[in-house]
Amino acid sequence: MKVQPFWGIMLIIGIVWISNYMYAYSQKLDQPVFLNHYIDYHLSEEQYTPFYFLTNKEDSSFIQVVEVGDIRGYPDRFGEHNGIETIEQFGRYSLKRVMIRFDEEAVDTLTEPVRFDKMNVYFSEQSETIYPIGQIVFHPLREEYRPFTTSSVSGGNHTESRLTVDEELVIDSVNTSFDELLDERLMIKLSSASLNKEKSNKVLSSNEEWNQTKGIDRRDVELPLVLDKGDYLTVKSYAEPSLHAVLMIAIEIKGTTKAGAPFTAKEGYVQFEPSINKQQVERLIKQRTEADANE
């Protein structure tokens, strides 16, 4: 019995449609995927912390509450707005952002910094789920002496903060909370009248503009570094684009004044919105789902 050409074509179309449907279904996320976040959390007024995550395009669920250890956080919701903002679409996936305000009283009870790499999230259409988020460090509120005046701050390809020294001092260290995690993907240079006399031909990054930026990589600075009153110190930072993470990082400059007072100055590198494309989205989803399967 001959199969009519029309029905043969319809059969092929049906097979292709079913194959496409099965493929699309297999690519659906079972649950949202959070990007990596590296966040120093310090108490301040009206402070909301951004969290970015990927969902299926048709997902309309929203976050009710989050928990990081014993610290609860709530989304910035008002009226009918559920606090979820769609930032960008990547095929079948949506990149979304929620602004979370953590319980200040819970943070205020801390006596030492505490860090977490996972967060409990209560979505409206799911039960409580634990998500890897990168890492967030909650810092206790402390009054710290700061012998610098910030005279200028600039952004662009990299971030710069120019500090004027208020009194003679010695700098002992320049660190972040994430040095081990980020390794060479977050780079910091120091520039001052004395440091600029030194030469550094080291290739630090694939970004030529950063390599040519004036200053010495902090790992090559001979510490302790002595600065006099009226001297300037410029702190420059650059994150490799391959990091694809949300950064709210305080660069801590620690030392002692000539009078013997210890100090800590915090200069921040902040990148609220990560740079990411469709291929990187798919890679992140694969990494997260494979990690979940191995747990």
Convert the pLDDT of each residue in 12-51 to its tens digit: 666 555 545 444 444 589 899 999 999 999 887 668 999 9
Instruction: Give yes or no: residues 121 and 172 share one domain.
Output: no
- pLDDT value for 223: 92
Residue at 5 is within a domain: no
- pLDDT value for 23: 45
Reported as a single tens digit per residue, the pLDDT across 127-185 is: 789 999 999 999 988 888 889 998 777 766 788 899 999 999 999 999 999 999 998 88
Residue at 1 is within a domain: no
Instruction: Give yes or no: residues 121 and 154 share one domain.
Output: no
Instruction: Give yes or no: residues 154 and 192 share one domain.
Output: yes
Question: Residue 134's domain spans which residues?
Answer: 33-140
- Mean pLDDT over 45-72 rounds to 92
- pLDDT value for 125: 79
3-state secondary structure of 185: coil
Chain centroid to Cα 231, Å, comes to 32
Instruction: Report the CATH number that the domain containing residue 185 is assigned in CATH.
Output: 2.60.40
Residue at 2 is within a domain: no
Instruction: Give yes or no: residues 202 and 121 share one domain.
Output: no
- Mean pLDDT over 86-104 rounds to 94
Residue at 8 is within a domain: no
Question: Total domain count for the chain?
Answer: 2
Residue at 69 is within a domain: yes
Instruction: Give yes or no: residues 168 and 112 share one domain.
Output: no
- Mean pLDDT for all residues in the chain: 85
Instruction: Give yes or no: residues 59 and 82 share one domain.
Output: yes
pTM for the full predicted model: 0.85
- pLDDT value for 152: 72
Cα(8)–Cα(12) distance, rounded to whole angstroms? 6
Q: For residue 197, what pLDDT band results from cuts at 50, 70 and 90? A: low
- pLDDT value for 27: 58
Q: Which of 254, 224, 229 lies closest to 168, judged by CA?
A: 229
Instruction: Give yes or no: residues 69 and 95 share one domain.
Output: yes
Residue at 4 is within a domain: no
Instruction: Give yes or no: residues 108 and 199 share one domain.
Output: no
E strand intervals along the chain: 33-34, 37-41, 49-56, 63-68, 71-75, 84-90, 93-102, 114-123, 129-138, 148-154, 159-165, 169-175, 186-191, 216-217, 225-227, 232-239, 246-257, 262-271
Instruction: Give yes or no: residues 184 and 206 share one domain.
Output: yes
Element (H, E) at 13: helix 5-26
Query: Residue 217: left (phi > 0), alpha (psi -120 to 50), or beta?
Result: beta
Angle CA 116–119–124, to nearest 5: 170
Q: For residue 98, what pLDDT band results from cuts at 50, 70 and 90? A: very high
